[in-house]
A and B are shown apart, each in its own frame.
Chain A
């Protein structure tokens, strides 16, 4: 009889960290091909739309970058938090907190115009951080499970936002449940005329190497990794775990908050129900695919932006529902989680 069994690896070869995400994506494409076929479309035609429309024109390419910005931020947020084993599933709520802070500041008539964009950035980061500190304090003080609290706080923040924009914060001009538009001076500068390529996209590209530096070259990053890999040894060595967890949560929340600030300042200029189609959750998939490496977050975010924009043109051209993009994310996450197993184990065939 032939049996397969898993054995622990003595070391992980470096190339595997590049190959595994690619294999996971390949597996995802194969699995989702079944769904495309079930939707009655030609798989190759549908996939060529899905994967290539993002790079088919300059406009589409820029739009893909614009889509990549918020999920790069949430991806960085998750990558930082997961390093400390702070399971922040709450980037979605922290994004909304940041967006609301930005929409509120951006609409203040009393503030000088030049101060609006920097204040939106700062307050958005602070709001996201504050919303992440709540579960961090619950975890470090009362050992409340962070997966549950961060996840549930997403819904609290979403419905809080909806209650506000359908009540005291409703836009009196439009009459829809959305907030009043921010001032023109608060709108993010556009980097490329005729497109939506705004300041937030640039910030995302700058943030990734900064976060990488922080994680790799500073004592804070060192401590975050130490606490995540072995909290007992970290404590024994004198690292104060509650301080590190709290700091990680604040950093993670601030990054997620920036995702929301960018969407308000560069795209929507207000908050409303459709502000984030699950960018916070997509961040988890991206961080996982990047193996929590902040530099890996950028290509992973770009890839999912390709899928999100590509799904729409695929849908228009072949009739495959756009929701395939969501299925794709889910399957990619599971495939990658399985692939990560192979960084630790190898398969052996036993006869």
Chain B
């Protein structure tokens, strides 16, 4: 047993409050060398807060941290790195124009102002051999695939001699095959004596990669599992949510007429450097009463499809047809008037306005028309009636309808968007990453609403990087790669392996 040894990391009695919210209450965490510890919990359970205290981003209200038995104070990421704590965030911190090697050199103390490039090159090679994390040192980061960029983030931590590594939802951006590759590397690192903390809310991943797990709920540790083999995925899920999970039941689909059609749509490359792939002759069809899922690794044109249908991007060729009307110049207003409900990927950036009252965010697209305004003057009473009605219908948890939008939790933000976009019986619903970052309960709520729309004869275009979600809801799945639709599979013939290969760019014959 490992328990006789001194733990690599020991956090005791960690507490942290934000105003009235107690994000962490008396949390203990122990990590041994060779451990892969799963940190499991719904969104808002306090996982990220705990890790941010370990990484020096937040100061704890109380609690003590020991590393290899020595008490330490960590008040910045530099402190954490110096103590051997490495973190791979969901959003990478890389300089795209610099090479792999130069990204490793950033922030590294030089030898009297001189950079030791050859030494770094050698070390990079060593790390590559030891853990199977190979990277071309001279390749610019902008040329790396997302999976490779994540690999570089891990290498960066190892390069600084990290002895423990925190990975925050690392598989969200990966194809299933890339995730397997990551798991192999993590096993190699654990075998080499590193301690790994793996943050996730995906149960099968936690089952697959960790040997121990710690479950958090509402800022407290609610359970620890010392042998992950002894519990089932279902039991883990119940520990995480605090109640039993019943997946929504999907009635057989009876597709009606086509409500949304893209015919050989091509778009210009985005102006912004970070943009994904422009669309190349994309053809899609969604019928009444069906869910079309779009799978793909982030940045392969899904965002462009969503933007086109939302009316914030224009096609350079091809045809967009919504409910039988050809839309030559898509604009948000034109699209909305054709009764399209739109759930954007970035809830707070694109959908809602963080600093405005929640009620204002909820009426944003319709404020110009009755019943919310007349002759340009807002009808505050009608607005209040509408918002209060929707708050009740969608079970939105908020202290008042005029709280700042940004203070709501992720699940409630998504409910505000649903309440707004599903309010006036849309014919078509566009949903991009609708459950990203949501806890199981909130995700299930979203899924149920979509299935209601489907049952009522609405057409749903579901863009998601969560394969489980796609397989659960879709009637057909289209897979995108580099701006093209590789293939569209009926749900009966779609398998994770086949979709995964299409996501990686394999032709439909190879993937069959």
Contacts and interface: CB of A to CB of B under 8 A. Distances in A.
Contact of A11 (B333, B377, B403): B403
Contact of A217 (B311, B353, B378, B407): B378
A56 interface: no
A142 interface: no
Given A10-B21, A217-B377, A218-B377, 19 more contacts: A8-B18, A11-B19, A218-B378, A219-B367, A219-B373, A222-B367, A222-B378, A230-B354, A230-B355, A234-B353, A235-B312, A236-B351, A237-B364, A238-B311, A238-B331, A238-B332, A238-B336, A239-B364, A350-B59
Interface in A205-244: 217-220, 222-223, 225-226, 229-230, 232-239
B312 A226 contact: no
B451 interface: no
Contacts of B58: 7
B482 interface: no
A5 interface: yes
A58 interface: no
Interface in B370-398: 373, 376-378, 380
Given A218-B378, A237-B332, A11 B356 contact: no
Contact of B59 (A230, A235, A348): A348
Contacts of B355: 229-230
B310 interface: yes
Interface in A1-48: 3, 5, 7-11
Contact of B364 (A8, A217, A233, A348): A233
B118 interface: no
Given A3-B75, A230-B353, A238 B365 contact: yes
Interface in B303-354: 310-312, 331-333, 336, 342, 344, 349-354
Most buried by B among A223, A233, A239: A233
Nearest to B61: A348
B380 A226 contact: no
B250 interface: no
Interface of A: 3, 5, 7-11, 217-220, 222-223, 225-226, 229-230, 232-239, 348, 350
Contact of B353 (A7, A218, A226, A238): A226
A218 B377 CA distance: 4
A283 B58 CA distance: 39
B368 interface: yes
A219 B376 CA distance: 5
B349 A230 contact: yes
B153 interface: no
B12 interface: no
B364 A234 contact: yes
A121 B368 CA distance: 30
The 5 A-B pairs at the shortest CB distance, nearest first, are namely A238-B332, A237-B365, A238-B333, A237-B364, A350-B59
Nearest to B365: A237
Contact of A229 (B333, B336, B353, B377): B353
Contacts of A348: 59
B320 to A, nearest CB: 17
A232 B351 CA distance: 8
A337 to B, nearest CB: 17
A237 B349 CA distance: 12
A236 B310 contact: yes
29 contacts: A5-B59, A7-B58, A9-B19, A10-B19, A10-B21, A11-B403, A217-B378, A217-B380, A218-B373, A218-B378, A219-B367, A219-B368, A223-B367, A226-B356, A226-B364, A229-B355, A230-B354, A230-B356, A232-B349, A233-B351, A233-B352, A236-B312, A236-B332, A236-B344, A236-B350, A238-B333, A238-B336, A239-B364, A350-B59
